[in-house]
Amino acid sequence: GDSVTQMEGPVTLSEEACLTINCTYTATGYPSLFWYVQYPGEGLQLLLKATKADDKGSNKGFEATYRKETTSFHLEKGSVQVSDSAVYFCALRPSSGSARQLTFGSGTQLTVLP
């Protein structure tokens, strides 16, 4: 079945450091790929998504590129801020079939220190 593997956390960075959170997936065909963010005390919210190979999703300074050849969708940001401290979830949705639910990775806790 479909699965998503994220890098283990927690990740602790200093403000203005570069961030990469690795995400790889297993799925047939061309699933849609997502990054969700969960800030402390809040529900998950969609950060960015990509629906086909080589697409780049971006939002709030974060980027992720859909790499079909490496089945990856790594999240990157060039300069993190304290306000980026949150849990980040990678997810996929199948491109076809009746099962259109999201499959999530285990989440990566990011803490940014001032």
Partner 1 sequence: KAGVTQTPRYLIKTRGQQVTLSCSPISGHRSVSWYQQTPGQGLQFLFEYFSETQRNKGNFPGRFSGRQFSNSRSEMNVSTLELGDSALYLCASSPGTGGTYDPGFFGQGTRLTVV
Q: Least distance to partner 1 from the beta carbon of 62, Å?
A: 15
Q: Which is nearer to partner 1, 9 or 17 (CB)?
A: 9
Q: Which is nearer to partner 1, 18 or 46 (CB)?
A: 46
The CA-CA-CA angle for residues 108, 3, 75, to 5°, reads 40
Kindly list the residues in this chain that would bind partner 1 in the complex (CB under 8 A).
Answer: 32, 34, 36, 41-46, 49, 89, 91, 93, 98-107
Q: Least distance to partner 1 from the beta carbon of 39, Å?
A: 11
Q: Least distance to partner 1 from the beta carbon of 38, Å?
A: 8
Distances from the Cα of 16 to the Cα of 10, 25, 30, 62, 83, angstroms:
18, 29, 34, 13, 11
Q: Which is nearer to partner 1, 40 or 114 (CB)?
A: 40
Q: Which is nearer to partner 1, 108 or 112 (CB)?
A: 108
The pairing of beta strand 11-14 with beta strand 108-113: parallel
Query: CA neighbours within 13 Å on the CB side: how many for 98?
Result: 0
The tokens describing 68, both together, are: 């079909």
Q: Least distance to partner 1 from the beta carbon of 45, Å?
A: 5
Q: Are 23 and 11 in contact (CB under 8 A)?
A: no
